[in-house]
Homo-oligomer: A and B are copies of this chain.
Amino acid sequence: MTFRLHNFFRSSTSTRVRIALNLKGLSYGYVPYLLRKGETRTPEYLARNPQGLVPTLELEDGTSLTQSLAIIEWLDETHPAPPLLPADSLGRARVRALSFMIACEIHPLNNLRVLFRLRDQFGADEAAQKEWFTHWVNLTFDALEVELADNAPTGRFCHGEVPTLADICLYAQVWNNRRFDIPLEPWPNIKRVFAALDELPAFHDAAPPNQPDAA
């Protein structure tokens, strides 16, 4: 099957899907969009993705899949090896919970359209945007650090010795944090897991600076 990934190098949700495709060993066509130029607001793109967001995964028959975590769950169901979720239900619940901590409690508050909205509605300058961004990262990374530090299933990665959906979300978020230069020192387990992930080509190759549209 040939995939086309409609995405943007710096988008954290795009990074997640690139990692998943790499882990599954699936090649894909890279279709870049410049968000600031409104390239995801065209009638053609909105027909694929009514939210006008990246990423969209286009399947060979033209079907468009949206929302990064839904795309990754689909990839995991249709291309089971290697699995991105543990085999046991409690392990799956833990990995999904760690993933949603990032995907529901950090990323939605800190993406570009939210920062623009803070600027437009409240006049938030760069410093105020950084304060906002950092607040949400700190709040959830503090709790994530506890989950990783105190929890037996944590291994080399967030859950055991093979990368999972939680690692995908973590890796993409740490890259996102670099927008505001947030150091990882307060969270030694997060820092350790990120370093281990960065050694894996599937992750490293999906990082923002390694994409064709990274200027």
A residues contacting B by CB (< 8 A) are 50-53, 63, 65-67, 69-71, 73-74, 77-78, 89-90, 92-94, 96-97, 99-101, 103-105, 107-109, 114, 117-118, 121-122, 124, 128, 131-132, 135, 140, 142-144, 146-147
Cβ–Cβ < 8 Å partners of A128 in chain B: 121-122
* A194 → B minimal CB distance (Å): 19
Known contacts: A108-B108, A121-B131. The answer to whether A71 contacts B50 by CB under 8 A is no
Cβ–Cβ < 8 Å partners of A78 in chain B: 89
Give A102 to B140 CA distance when docked, in angstroms: 20
Copies of this chain assembled into the complex: 2
Give A107 to B66 CA distance when docked, in angstroms: 18
The listed residue (B92, B107, B122) touching A77 by CB distance below 8 A is B92
The listed residue (B52, B66, B99, B109) touching A109 by CB distance below 8 A is B109
Closest to A78 in B: B89
The listed residue (B71, B100, B124) touching A69 by CB distance below 8 A is B100
* A73 → B minimal CB distance (Å): 6
Known contacts: A104-B104, A140-B51. The answer to whether A89 contacts B77 by CB under 8 A is yes
Instruction: Check if B67 sits within 8 Å of A97, measured CB to CB.
Output: yes
Closest 9 CB pairs of A and B: A70-B96, A108-B108, A67-B97, A74-B93, A122-B122, A70-B97, A50-B143, A50-B146, A67-B100
Instruction: Check if A89 sits within 8 Å of B74, measured CB to CB.
Output: yes
Give A151 to B174 CA distance when docked, in angstroms: 36
Closest to A99 in B: B70
